[in-house]
Structure 1
Amino acid sequence: MNADSNSSMNKPNTYFNADRDDFLQFLNSAGKFGEVLDIGCAAGSLGTRLVESGLAEAVDGIEINPAAAANAAQRLRTVWQGSVEDLLPKIPLRAYSLIIMADSLEHLVDPWQVLRDLREKSGPETRIAVSVPNLREKNVIFPLLFQGRFQYQEAGVMDRTHLHFFTRSSLITLLSDTGWSVEKIHPNIKQKYLQWWYPHKLLEEFLTVQYFVLAHR
Structure 2
Amino acid sequence: MALGAGNGGLRNRFRGYSGARPDVVRLLPAEARRVLDVGCGAGMTAALVRERCPAVHVIGLEPSEELAAHAAKQVDEIIVGRVDDDSVLGALAAQAPFDVIICADVLEHLAEPLPVLQALAGQLSPGGCLITSIPNVRHLSTFIALGLLGTWPARDRGIHDRTHLRFFARRDILRLGAEAGLKPSCERRNVRLIESKAWTLVLAKVMDFWPLRGFVTFQYLHRWTRAVDERGA
The TM-score normalised by the length of structure 2 is 0.80
> Retained in 2: the 8 A contact 1:32–1:55?
no
Deviations 1:182-215 (A, max 9, x none): 11111111432365xx231222110111000011
Residue 145 (structure 1) aligns with: 147
Corresponding position of 1:172: 174
Relative to structure 1, the CA distance from residue 77 to residue 144 in structure 2 (aligned partners, 3 Å threshold; closer, same or farther) is same
Give the 3-state SS of the residue equivalent to 1:79 in structure 2: strand
Which residue of the partner structure matches residue 8 of structure 1? none
2:208 to 190, 193, 200: 200
Cα shift at 1:114: 0.1
> Deviation of residue 67 (structure 1)?
0.2
Q: Secondary structure at the match of 2:103?
A: strand
Out of 183, 186, 189, the residue aligned to residue 187 of structure 1 is 189
The gaps in structure 2 that reach 5 residues or longer are 1-11, 193-200, 227-233
Alignment of 1:80-119 (within 5 A): 80-86=79-85, 87-91=88-92, 92-119=94-121
| CA RMSD of superposed structures (Å) | 2.0
> Is the Cα–Cα contact under 8 Å of residues 18 and 40 in structure 2 kept in the other structure?
no
1:215 and 2:221 are equivalent in the alignment: no
Deviation, structure 1 residue 56: 6.4
Aligned residue pairs total 203
What is the CA distance between 1:125 and its match in structure 2? 2.3
Rg larger in structure: 2
Q: CA deviation at 1:12?
A: 3.7
Query: Unaligned regions of 5+ residues in structure 1, if any?
Result: 1-10
Matches within 5 A, 1:15-164: 15-25=16-26, 27=27, 31-54=30-53, 57-86=56-85, 87-91=88-92, 92-164=94-166
Distance change >3 Å, CA 149–CA 56, structure 1 → 2: farther
Q: Runs of 4 or more off by more than 4 Å in structure 1?
A: none
Distance in 2 of aligned mates of 1:42 and 1:172: 25
Distance 1:194 1:53 in 2: 29
Q: What's the % identity of the aligned pairs?
A: 30
**Structure 1 pair 204–32 and aligned structure 2 pair: CA distance change class (3 A):** farther
Q: Compared with structure 1, are the counterparts of its residues 109 and 55 closer, same or farther at alpha carbon in structure 2 (3 Å cutoff)?
A: farther
Residue 6 of structure 1 corresponds to: none
Identify which of structures 1 and 2 has the higher relative contact order when contacts are C-alpha pairs closer than 8 Å and 6+ apart: 1
